[in-house]
């Protein structure tokens, strides 16, 4: 598992570098396999990267978008990761929504939504050897408590070895709403996983991650180890402590 760590002076340069890296990975995937399957991260950090990406790419016809986690709220909610991506990226970049596969948060329960999303992934991404869904890229954020996607410290979702997507109770950080999240089996099957980390508020947790302190049960981001893929950490100086 090659690990690359890239630090940029500030959030703007982080977003520009991340957008270029994503577009470059997309070009290779499209040349090799015809499509680029990317899972978007939630939270606030990626918004600038999505805007940069939207200003650089014009032909989205071979891109397919998914979400590495979702809050179990309506898309119209300000807490929806799908809603954030649509408002900050999909609409502005004029990406056809038929290329964007969100978690169906209209279903009765988060557990139903998780099961449904596994079917969506299998249908649109397909299965590779070993009967696993292998996304080309999964974008992830890092919470100040060490969570990533909606894999929160001490939660049962961290022990999941078979399922690709599961429901989870909320963690200690807001918003206090139920979640639907990728699991380690799905994340670690990806061709590339890229963390986007920005701001001094993430410096403390980054130092723990960098030192490998504790285990994935306390710092879930440590469990992201794509066995046959690349792991890229992109941080601005404030988060990295440069």
Q: Contact at 8 Å (CB) between 72 and 167? A: yes
The owner of tokens 């270029």 is 20
Q: Name which of residues 43 to 62 contact ligand 6PG (CB under 6 A).
A: 43-45
Cα distance between the two ends of the chain: 25
Here the tokens at position 64 are 């397919």
Q: Does 83 bind ligand 6PG (CB under 6 A)?
A: no
Q: Does 69 bind ligand 6PG (CB under 6 A)?
A: yes
Residue 38, judged by CB atoms within 10 A of its CB (0-12, 13-18, 19+), counts as buried
Q: Which of 132, 145, 129, 144 is nearest to 182 (CA)?
A: 132
Contacts of 112 (CB under 8 A, 6+ apart): none
User: Which range in 38-46, 86-94, 215-223, 225-233 contacts ligand 6PG by CB under 6 A?
Assistant: 38-46
Output the residue with the shortest Cβ distance to ligand 6PG.
141
Long-range contacts at 27-32 (CB < 8 A, ≥ 24 apart): 29/136, 29/137, 29/191, 30/62
Closer to ligand 6PG by Cβ: residue 41 or 113: 41
Q: Does 81 bind ligand 6PG (CB under 6 A)?
A: yes
Q: Does 141 bind ligand 6PG (CB under 6 A)?
A: yes
Closer to ligand 6PG by Cβ: residue 50 or 63: 50
Please select the residue that binds ligand 6PG; options are 41, 84, 103, 110, rule is CB under 6 A. Answer: 41
Here the tokens at position 220 are 């879930």
User: What is the phi-psi region of residue 235: left when phi exceeds 0, alpha when psi lies from -120 to 50, beta otherwise?
Assistant: beta
Least distance (Å) from ligand 6PG to the CB of residue 58?
A: 27
Please select the residue that binds ligand 6PG; options are 143, 146, 220, 229, rule is CB under 6 A. Answer: 143
Least distance (Å) from ligand 6PG to the CB of residue 217?
A: 17
Least distance (Å) from ligand 6PG to the CB of residue 205?
A: 10
Residue 137 main-chain phi, psi, to 5 deg? -150, 140
User: Which range in 3-11, 39-47, 128-136, 226-234 contacts ligand 6PG by CB under 6 A?
Assistant: 39-47
Closer to ligand 6PG by Cβ: residue 35 or 186: 186
Q: Does 148 bind ligand 6PG (CB under 6 A)?
A: yes
User: Which range in 31-39, 88-96, 99-107, 136-144 contacts ligand 6PG by CB under 6 A?
Assistant: 136-144
Long-range contacts at 209-212 (CB < 8 A, ≥ 24 apart): 209/142, 209/146
Closer to ligand 6PG by Cβ: residue 30 or 218: 218
Query: Can you give the binding site for ligand 6PG, defined by CB under 6 A?
Result: 41-45, 69, 71, 81, 141-143, 147-150
């Amino acid at each position: 598992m090659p690990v690359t760590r890239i630090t940029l002076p500030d959030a703007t340069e982080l977003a520009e570098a991340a957008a270029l890296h994503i577009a470059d990975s997309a070009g290779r995937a499209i040349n090799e396999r015809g499509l680029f399957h990317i899972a978007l991260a939630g939270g606030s950090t990626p918004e600038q990267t999505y805007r940069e990406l939207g200003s650089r790419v014009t032909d989205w016809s071979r891109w397919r978008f998914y979400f590495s986690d979702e809050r179990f709220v309506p898309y119209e909610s300000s807490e929806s990761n799908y809603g954030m991506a649509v408002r900050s990226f999909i609409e502005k970049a004029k990406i056809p929504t038929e290329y964007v596969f969100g978690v169906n948060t209209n279903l009765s329960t988060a557990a139903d939504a998780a099961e449904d999303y596994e079917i969506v992934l299998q249908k649109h991404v397909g299965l590779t050897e070993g009967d696993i869904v292998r996304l080309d890229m999964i974008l992830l954020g890092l919470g100040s408590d060490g969570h990533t996607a909606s894999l929160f410290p001490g939660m049962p979702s961290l022990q999941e070895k078979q399922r690709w997507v599961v429901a989870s109770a909320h963690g200690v950080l807001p918003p206090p709403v139920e979640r639907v999240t990728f699991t380690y089996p799905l994340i670690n099957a990806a061709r590339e996983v890229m963390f986007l980390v920005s701001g001094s508020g993430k410096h403390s947790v980054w130092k723990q991650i960098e030192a490998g302190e504790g285990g994935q049960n306390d710092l879930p981001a440590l469990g992201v180890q794509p066995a046959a893929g690349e792991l890229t950490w992109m941080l601005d100086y404030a988060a990295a402590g440069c």
